Amino acid sequence: MVRQVCTIVWQLFLLIILYQMGAFISKLLHLQIPGNVIGILLLLLLLWTGFLKVEQIELASALLLKHLGFFFIPISVGLMTLGNLFGLKGVYLLIILVISAIAGLIAAGKTTQRIILISKKEQKDHDYTL
């Protein structure tokens, strides 16, 4: 139990360091990209290159994902103070949200179809060599 808590704390520390590095890079280079996005890109790069393994952040990531909904409470409360903005620009925001959702669904669907086709082709090639 103590070992698992220490592991989670260490993994959270790694994720916080990546976030801080992203914020530093964003500020240093005067980018219009938020530091957390740059931090996620750094994480992707480290995972993609194999410098960081999924197992090295798996427990902390699972813990954060388990409580993800809880992290949206401050955002929701903050949105309550912007009622007049939604009254004035609500239609525009709704249009943007619908278009973004459709684009996301199309991208996810096309990616899934592509992965399925590739895996079927690999399976067919594997069956053919046997």
The tens place of each residue's pLDDT in the chain, 130 residues long, gives: 899 999 999 999 999 999 999 999 999 999 998 999 999 999 999 999 999 999 999 999 999 989 888 887 887 777 778 778 778 888 888 899 899 999 999 999 999 999 999 888 888 777 666 6
Contacts of 18 (CB under 8 A, 6+ apart): 39, 40, 42, 43, 46
Q: Token digits for 82?
A: 């912007």
Choose among 93, 95, 97: nearest CA to 105.
97
What is the structure's pLDDT at 129?
62
Query: What's the predicted TM-score (pTM) here?
Result: 0.61
